[in-house]
């Protein structure tokens, strides 16, 4: 009996000492940073965190990987509820209005003012105020652009040249080019002319190219039914009628990976994917690769994507100070250049883009510049908490059904419209 008690006492004492170890005097002020990158981009991020930590002694950033964007979104909510959230993290634009309305983010305007950050030097379509349509409301700055991207078209130049196909600039040209580039052997397709993940982001681009819009002018009703249907029908026909487009399997980012792999292994001649993969694809393809604007229908258009830095309101002032120091450092031209050159994300700093270094880089690597040029056709996203739900519940889960042949495009868009309007009505 006595032995047991001694054992329990010792154990309790050990645990107590372990958790109450005092912080060392003179420790740097530490902020935690959650990020959501895989592969090459994660490496670049981790290198930059290390660089920041060794570049000065006052602050320290503890970075940790939290799964893909959507897994990280789930963790962040759970962490807010349990008061274990990080100081800073980066979040996809579509999720920001909802999280802002939920009171999660720190207003960054005082930080910008007190540290003299020039927000007008951010590439405007990539900045928070350039990304959102606020419907006339005034919303303070709470997000700093970081890994910002756009979808672009990648093509296998060798294949296009071999067949004498010009780089397509319109929907019709893309369809014709894909037909010419598709190679069949009996019932097998050896090369697909075109491939794109059946995904919200690309669909959103097509919706605006067709002259449509996601929501009505006041942001209160869904407005995508007809033009969104045209966009989807374009894919459905290429997959099922002309059989010149491959629907990559897998949901969310799995389908993106399949698309990249098919392009690298020359199973697909042209693909749409994020400019964020320019670096990765350039390093892995064994053919001449080109990038171009997404083709137009009524007009050129493409959404921007990727994430912004945000700060959690619940963090302590010391943590916020360290977190802001890191965000500020990351947006400086030197880091913006390093980040963009090593990943393919669009450089977010105008002075960086105008620098001699970046201009030379663009001349040597024109594929990195296409997305920046395409920014003049960037669409804004409606600033409504419903945005992320419309993406995740109304659009994304419905796009695949007509491509597989389970439903017609009309049925799909009608259902999506109903879900979107329910969400907008607060259901």
Partner 1 sequence: MRRQTLLGYALILPSMAFFSAFYIYPVVYSFYLSFFTWDMLQPKRFIGLTNYRELLEAAEFREVLGNTLAYSVGVVVLAMGIGLALALLLNNRTALSSLFQACIFTSYIVSWVAVSLLWIWMLDPQYGLVNYVAGFLGVPPVDWLGNHRLALWSLVGVTVWKVIGYPMIIFLAGLQNISQDYYEAASLDGASAWHQFRYITWPLLAPTTVFLFITLTIATFQGFDIVNIMTQGGPVHATSIYVFYIYEQAFHYFRIGRASAAVIICFGLILALTYAQHRLFRRNVHYTQVG
How buried is 242 (Cβ within 10 angstroms: 0-12 exposed, 13-18 middle, 19+ buried)?
middle
Matching residue, tokens 């570049």: 55
Nearest distance, CB of residue 379 and partner 1, angstroms: 24
Distance CA 22, CA 307 (A): 36
The smaller minimum CB distance to partner 1, of residues 167 and 415, is found at: 415
Nearest to 191 by CA among 159, 232, 168, 165: 159
Nearest distance, CB of residue 165 and partner 1, angstroms: 24
C-alpha angle 271-276-277 in degrees, rounded to nearest 5 = 50
- Give me Rg for the CA atoms of the chain: 24
The smaller minimum CB distance to partner 1, of residues 16 and 103, is found at: 103
Reported as type and span, the H/E element at residue 334 is helix 333-343
The smaller minimum CB distance to partner 1, of residues 188 and 364, is found at: 188
Nearest to 423 by CA among 222, 239, 231: 222
Nearest distance, CB of residue 405 and partner 1, angstroms: 9
Give the N- to C-terminal CA distance of the chain in Å, as an integer: 60
H-helix segments, 38-108: 39-55, 69-81, 96-101
Nearest distance, CB of residue 199 and partner 1, angstroms: 12
The smaller minimum CB distance to partner 1, of residues 118 and 190, is found at: 190
Nearest distance, CB of residue 71 and partner 1, angstroms: 8
Nearest distance, CB of residue 393 and partner 1, angstroms: 6
Matching residue, tokens 């694809």: 281
Distance CA 273, CA 360 (A): 25
The smaller minimum CB distance to partner 1, of residues 162 and 404, is found at: 404
Nearest distance, CB of residue 209 and partner 1, angstroms: 25
H-helix segments, 265-299: 278-284
Residues of the shown chain interacting with partner 1 in the complex, contacts defined by CB under 8 A: 70-71, 74, 77-78, 80-81, 98-99, 101-104, 187-188, 247, 249-252, 254, 262, 267, 389, 392-393, 397, 400-401, 404, 406
The smaller minimum CB distance to partner 1, of residues 42 and 313, is found at: 313
The smaller minimum CB distance to partner 1, of residues 78 and 318, is found at: 78
Nearest distance, CB of residue 11 and partner 1, angstroms: 12
- The token duo for 157 is 């130049």
Q: What SS3 state is found at 178?
A: helix
Q: Cβ contacts of residue 209 below 8 Å, gap of 6+?
A: 171, 231, 294, 295, 296, 297, 298, 299, 300, 301
The smaller minimum CB distance to partner 1, of residues 102 and 140, is found at: 102
Nearest to 345 by CA among 64, 123, 53, 73: 123
The smaller minimum CB distance to partner 1, of residues 251 and 299, is found at: 251
Q: Cβ contacts of residue 136 below 8 Å, gap of 6+?
A: none
Nearest distance, CB of residue 424 and partner 1, angstroms: 15
26: left (phi over 0), alpha (psi -120 to 50) or beta: left
């Amino acid at each position: 009996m006595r032995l047991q008690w001694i054992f329990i006492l010792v154990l309790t004492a050990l645990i107590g000492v372990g958790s109450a170890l005092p912080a060392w005097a003179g420790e740097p002020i530490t902020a935690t940073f959650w990020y959501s990158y895989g592969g090459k981009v994660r490496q670049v991020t981790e290198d930059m965190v290390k660089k920041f930590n060794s570049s000065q002694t006052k602050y320290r950033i503890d970075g940790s990987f939290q799964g893909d964007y959507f897994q990280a979104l789930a963790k962040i909510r759970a962490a807010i509820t349990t008061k274990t959230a990080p100081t800073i993290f980066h979040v996809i634009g579509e999720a920001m209005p909802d999280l802002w309305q939920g009171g999660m983010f720190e207003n960054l305007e005082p930080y910008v003012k007190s540290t003299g950050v020039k927000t007008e030097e951010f590439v405007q379509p990539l900045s928070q105020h350039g990304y959102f349509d606020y419907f006339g409301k005034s919303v303070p700055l709470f997000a700093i652009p970081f890994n910002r991207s756009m979808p672009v078209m990648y093509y296998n130049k060798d294949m296009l040249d071999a067949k004498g196909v010009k780089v397509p600039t319109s929907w019709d040209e893309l369809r014709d080019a894909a037909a010419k580039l598709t190679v069949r052997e009996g019932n097998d397709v050896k090369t697909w002319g075109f491939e794109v993940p059946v995904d919200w982001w690309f669909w959103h681009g097509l919706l605006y190219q067709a002259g449509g819009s996601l929501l009505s002018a006041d942001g209160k009703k869904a407005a995508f039914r007809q033009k969104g249907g045209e966009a989807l029908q374009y894919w459905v026909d290429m997959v099922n009628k002309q059989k010149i487009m491959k629907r990559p399997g897998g949901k969310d980012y799995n389908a993106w990976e399949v698309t990249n792999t098919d392009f690298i292994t020359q199973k697909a001649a042209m693909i749409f994917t994020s400019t964020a993969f320019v670096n990765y694809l350039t390093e892995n393809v064994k053919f001449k690769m080109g990038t171009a604007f997404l083709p137009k229908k009524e007009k050129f258009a493409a959404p921007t994507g990727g994430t912004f830095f945000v700060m959690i309101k619940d963090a302590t002032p010391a943590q916020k100070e360290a977190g802001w120091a890191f965000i500020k450092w990351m947006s400086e031209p030197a880091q913006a250049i390093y980040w963009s050159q090593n990943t393919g994300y669009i450089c977010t700093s105008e002075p960086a883009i105008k620098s001699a270094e970046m201009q030379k880089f663009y001349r040597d690597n024109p594929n990195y510049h296409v997305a920046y040029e395409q920014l003049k056709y960037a669409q804004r996203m409606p600033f409504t908490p419903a945005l992320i739900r419309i993406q995740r519940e109304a659009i994304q889960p419905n796009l695949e059904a007509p491509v597989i042949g389970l439903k017609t495009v009309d049925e799909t868009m009608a259902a999506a419209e109903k879900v979107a309007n329910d969400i907008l009505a607060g259901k």
